[in-house]
Amino acid sequence: MQTNGNGVLGTVGSITTTGLPAGVAAQFGMAKPPGAQLFYYNQTVQVYDPTLTTNRGSANVLLVDPFNSLIQVDALPTGTSVNDLIVHDGLTGAQPTSLFGILYHQTNATTGTWLNLNRATYPVELATPVVNGNNSAITPGAVRLAINKVRKALGSNQVSKLIAYTALEQEHQWEQLGVTISQIIKEGAGGRASDLDLLFTGEKSMAGVPIKSSINANQTRVDFLDLSHWGRAVMQDIDFYDVGGQTVFPIYGASGGISAAYIFYFVTGFQVWNESPRSGAFINNLAIPTGY
């Protein structure tokens, strides 16, 4: 759900092949965003060239370090280079298609297609309102502008269902704004001294929009989502793969004989849709705070 529909989990920023533990073929420093946030131990991944044309091969993830934004793998596909893209397992061919995530549905692009609709034909209707963070820290002004763009596009009462979906990095920055105060003069006892909210209590929000933070979200974005317009189209409910009522199958060895093992599969088919890309907004190109 963090990708733009092509299955890309990250971009190779650096490659190390020496001084690594036994069994580790290479260490990839992953460019931010999204860094190493979308990988997990024992995951099978594939390496594509930067244009998503050439599939260089696959590898298994042996270590994930989200703090230093690196992963280690058990194989280095031939030709792997800096700026190559790492995708999940199972994708084939050039320009692969995967789950339509937030970056697919929440974009202000005016070229290409969205759910088979030509963006050039509907340059306003299919574009999600955006505020450019200009590689700076998040500000209340940027948040208010993003929310007001939704109101300006659809009406002033169209923001009540929004959530502010963001990474821990931007939640951190927002909290810093709430506690960066030089002096507080409060009423004495019996007054309304406790009315000032410094984000220590209650549900955190951005200009009244509840914050939903995630370790997997893009570290440089805040996405304002109206989830009442989002859904999942299920073509195949998750279940055992069934052939004539049989769900467990024998495994054959190199000799052609049956091995002392069996295999079964879980299968499912679904895609994620959004019926109203203008019902949200996003702030992009935000600075990542020091230490993350």
Q: 161-202, pLDDT tens digit by residue?
A: 899 999 999 999 998 887 775 555 666 555 555 555 555 556
> Whole-angstrom Cα distance, residue 262 to residue 249?
6
- pLDDT band of 285, cuts 50, 70, 90: very high
What percent of the chain shows pLDDT beyond 70?
92
User: Quick one: pLDDT at residue 82?
Assistant: 97
What percent of the chain shows pLDDT beyond 90?
82
Q: In what order do the strands lie in the sheet containing 130-132?
A: 130-132, 281-284, 222-226, 162-167, 209-214, 205-206
Average of per-residue pLDDT across 144-159: 88
Q: 56-88, pLDDT tens digit by residue?
A: 999 999 999 999 999 999 999 999 999 999 999
User: Quick one: pLDDT at residue 113?
Assistant: 92
User: Quick one: pLDDT at residue 266?
Assistant: 94
11 Cβ partners below 8 Å, 6+ apart? Answer: 30, 31, 83, 84, 85, 86
130 Cβ partners below 8 Å, 6+ apart? Answer: 108, 146, 149, 281, 282, 283, 284
- pTM for the full predicted model: 0.85
> Whole-angstrom Cα distance, residue 71 to residue 44?
12
